[in-house]
Structure 1
Amino acid sequence: MVLKPLSTCNTYHNQPLSTTYHLTSSPTTINHTLPQFTTILQVAAVVVVLVASLVKADPEVYEPVYKPEPLPYYFDYSVHDDYKKTDFGQHEKSDGKALYGTYWVDLPDGRKQRVDYTADHYKGYVAKVSYYGKAKHPKYYGPPVTFKHQGYGYH
């Protein structure tokens, strides 16, 4: 069976473009309107997209969701610079349930501050702060450092 167009009708201003087809082996006539056909294709495309999204969003197997267990770790860093006279750092480790650590810093007055800490979900953050050395203050302080306003900026 071969479809042969009998007539094509073009009209203006929102009128459908239609083509009448005739089957060569049968005397029936098929009247097909182009906008109706594109509307059917659009609806079919929307249905396919909706079905695909539902299949993807709804897995076949439901498994319980568990929070992942915290992993143990060890973290360490330190900076020691003789030229700038800086010395600070931190050591930290975790067994997955609690956190243990130490950090230290050289203070401007010559002392060293050290903080030993633990943290968990039961006691929270517990720190023990200690200082080593004796504070040294200069006998003479120079004049205060002041800066003149340059006339730009917000204030």
Structure 2
Amino acid sequence: MARSAETGDVDADIQIALAVLLNTNEEYDKAQDCFRTALAVRPDDWLLYNRVGATMANSGRALEALDYYYRALELNPGYIRARFNLGISCINLRRYEEAAQHILDALVLQDNDGLGDDASSNEKRGDISTALWDTLKTTCLHMQRADLATFCDLKDLGGFRDRFP
């Protein structure tokens, strides 16, 4: 089923669907294999690079995940989710200043992304923003920077940027 019945070529969509199912069942190695097989067919798919990175991070391989997140960002520099995932992996590696920078970058991108004014876009943006700010605050506390954590509580992007190296 993972190959086209007509040509025998790899069907990337089926590989991705299978990988998502395997990831849900915490079969991370198999999920990574499926995502990588799909990447062989779609080598410029930034979503796939992020998914491989997330699968690796979920399996405790945060350091290896970084390369996949960086590749996703090379292909799509404005991809907020990959930037956020990169920050999470840095937190797991105890690279807190680097994590804070990635999460801050994600907040700046989000602030400049030009989402529409409709209620669903604003609601979605609010959910993402809350997760970013909460994670940034936790990172600041790991860095023992309560002063920066206060800006997270206030969701003061300008104040944070002025005081973060």
So what's the TM-score if we normalise by structure 1? 0.20
> Whose Rg is larger?
1
Q: Give 1 or 2: higher helix fraction.
A: 2
Whose relative contact order is higher, 1 or 2, with alpha carbons under 8 Å and at least 6 apart? 2
Higher strand share: 1
